[in-house]
Amino acid sequence: MSDSSQALRQNFQQAGQGHVFDAWDSLAERARRRLVRQLEQVDLAQLAAMRAAITAVAGPVPRKLSPAPAFAMADESFPYLLHDAARAVVPVGDRALRRGEVAVILVAGGQGTRLGFDGPKGCYPILPLSGMTLFEVFARKLLRAGREYGRTPPLYVMVGNHNEQATRAFFEEHRCFGLNPADVKFFAQGELPALDDNGRLVMAGPDALWTAPDGHGGVIAAMHSKGMLADMRARGVRYASYVQVDNLQIPVVDAAFLGLHISEGAEVSLKVVRKTDPAEKVGIYCLDDGVPSIVEYTEFTPADSNLRGQDGRLAFWQGNMAVHVFGLEFLQRLADTSTQLPLHAARKKVNDAEAWKFERFVFDTIPLANRVVCMEVPREEQFLPLKNPDGPFGPEGVRAACQQYWKKALKLARPDLAEPPVIEVDPALCENARELATAIQGRKVDTSGPLRLEPQA
Ligand code: UTP
């Protein structure tokens, strides 16, 4: 054993993790090198935080929760017309977009375990007529933004080690779906090991630790270490619009949301949807001992979950959608100060046995920000995530909800037309019902068969 491997072994032994070298003597030279390379990446100092995260699952700290303020930017009923306050900040967002100060972070590094699709989730064909994939949907939303603002925001796609190659190959095969390849960057997030019930690191085999992506909260460390924050700075980017690859209906950039973030001087902004069922399993934006935070539904007492205000509506209603605007300076500050987001532990199947898996969550940036702004958006317009093999968040459920929305939008835009059997609106055409009327103004539209609405050449 070389001196450096010997030192590594000692470090693991001292940390009570000597078992990771159990098979050393029987390993071939290549396998040994692979194991050492992997173990060198493990931050043993983090073991204490991992154990603390497990303890926190068993006995969460008591919270002092109170509702947090949110901006309601639009009417609550279809077609969700923007309020005056929202219209007033749109020019601010618009200006940032025109100046090229906005980038898009698309996180696509998850394992998509629940959906069970063979390949990156972004390669899932979701639109009903063209079979357009989620990645193309997002690319076409960007093309539309480019048309609208004269500048196409650069796209930063976070991938995981498990899907980086497939994702890059998919974009290459499709020539970045019409985006400029120089404006599409991929970066791989980090990984974290798992612990068994005895606090021992779980092995995937004799020569490998078991590891998994470190959660969407890994985005900040990965953006920093892979040079993406520097790339943004070099391009003059000041604001990052953060979206997740599975939310079909989310705008990649939203001038009202950006405008609100900028004019309120926020460091982090978030979008929420209104929770109406106290049992809905969604993290809630609220104040925890006065600090803006997302608190998991599991940490709410039944009394708090069911608490209603004077208006009869749920007091804790702000369902987290995982959609943000981040100030670049804020992200840089977190990176420069090596601020680690907390670890969250969950019991998961790891190698056919139950073990503790760890992740960081992007919403844990919220309590670290000097100013946070929250904006409520209409659920059916902007929240349609593909998570499961079936049910409302399965492919059929998502397609059905999308159909319902666009059929209503078409009826509003063109009351003269009969309802088509199927409708697909190209994301490069428009993003919501408010825009559809203008987008198809004066067009001859045939609704006697399946209808696909695209931009005209
Ligand atoms: P989810 O938490 O829903 O995870 O991610 P998932 O990987 O899509 O699906 P499950 O839980 O394994 O079934 C929400 C978004 O965050 C990204 C996902 O790609 C998705 O866009 N994500 C999640 C990452 O980029 N990295 C991660 O480590 C976890």
Indicate if ligand 1 lies below 6 Å from the C-beta of 387: yes
Q: Which has the closest alpha carbon to 92: 250, 320, 292, 325?
A: 325
pLDDT at 62: 84
236 alpha carbon – ligand 1 mean position (Å)? 29
Indicate if ligand 1 lies below 6 Å from the C-beta of 106: no
Which amino acid is residue 282, in one-letter code?
A: V
111 alpha carbon – ligand 1 mean position (Å)? 6
181 alpha carbon – ligand 1 mean position (Å)? 24
Q: How far apart are CA 308 and CA 229, in angstroms?
A: 42
Contacts 24+ apart (CB under 8 A), 159-162: 159/108, 159/109, 159/120, 159/186, 159/187, 159/188, 159/189, 160/109, 160/110, 160/111, 160/188, 160/189, 160/191, 160/213, 161/188, 161/191, 161/213, 162/111, 162/213
440 alpha carbon – ligand 1 mean position (Å)? 35
* Angle (nearest 5°) at CA 440 between 438 and 441: 60
Q: Which two tokens stand for residue 29?
A: 């030279």
pLDDT at 21: 97
Q: How far apart are CA 376 and CA 76, in angstroms?
A: 10
CA dihedral 288, 291, 295, 300 (to 10 degrees): 10
pLDDT at 435: 96
SS3 call for 167 = helix
Indicate if ligand 1 lies below 6 Å from the C-beta of 306: no
Do the Cβ atoms of 60 and 366 come closer than 8 Å? Answer: no
Q: For the chain, what is the total number of helices (H) and then of strands (E)? A: 14, 19
**What are the pLDDT digits (tens) for 414-444?**
999 999 999 999 999 999 999 999 999 999 9
Q: What is the pTM of this model?
A: 0.97
Q: Which atom of ligand 1 is nearest to the CA of 244?
A: 21
Atom 9, ligand 1: which residue's CA is nearest?
Answer: 112
Locus of tokens 């987008």: 439
pLDDT at 58: 84
Alpha carbon 276 to its chain centroid, in Å, reads 23
Which amino acid is residue 386, in one-letter code?
A: L
244 alpha carbon – ligand 1 mean position (Å)? 8
pLDDT at 350: 92
Rounded-to-5 percentages of helix, strand, coil across the chain: 40, 20, 40
Q: Which two tokens stand for residue 330?
A: 């804020």
Atom 5, ligand 1: which residue's CA is nearest?
Answer: 110
159 alpha carbon – ligand 1 mean position (Å)? 10
**Pairing mode, if any, of strands 239-244 and 102-107?**
parallel
Q: How far apart are CA 69 and CA 75, in angstroms?
A: 17
Which amino acid is residue 298, in one-letter code?
A: T
Atom 22, ligand 1: which residue's CA is nearest?
Answer: 110
pLDDT at 254: 98
216 alpha carbon – ligand 1 mean position (Å)? 7
Question: Which CATH entry fits the domain spanning 62-389: 3.90.550.10, 3.40.50.300, 3.40.605.10, 3.40.50.620?
Answer: 3.90.550.10
Indicate if ligand 1 lies below 6 Å from the C-beta of 427: no
* Angle (nearest 5°) at CA 336 between 335 and 340: 45
Indicate if ligand 1 lies below 6 Å from the C-beta of 111: yes
Indicate if ligand 1 lies below 6 Å from the C-beta of 323: no
113 alpha carbon – ligand 1 mean position (Å)? 9
Give Dmax (Cα) for the chain.
80
Pocket mutation for ligand 1, best pick of 163, 216, 282 (most atoms within 8 Å of C-beta): 216
- Name 245's Cβ contacts closer than 8 Å, sequence gap at least 6: 106, 107, 108, 121, 122, 134, 135, 138
**51 φ, ψ (degrees, to nearest 5):** -65, -40
Do the Cβ atoms of 160 and 110 come closer than 8 Å? Answer: yes
Indicate if ligand 1 lies below 6 Å from the C-beta of 246: yes
CB half-sphere exposure, 125, CA atoms < 13 A: 5
Which stretches of the chain score pLDDT less than 50?
none
* Helix or strand run (H / E) with residue 134: helix 134-149
pLDDT at 352: 87
Per-domain boundaries in the chain:
3-56, 62-389
Do the Cβ atoms of 392 and 248 come closer than 8 Å? Answer: no
Pocket mutation for ligand 1, best pick of 246, 347, 358 (most atoms within 8 Å of C-beta): 246
Does the CA dihedral 292-296-300-305 come out positive or negative? positive
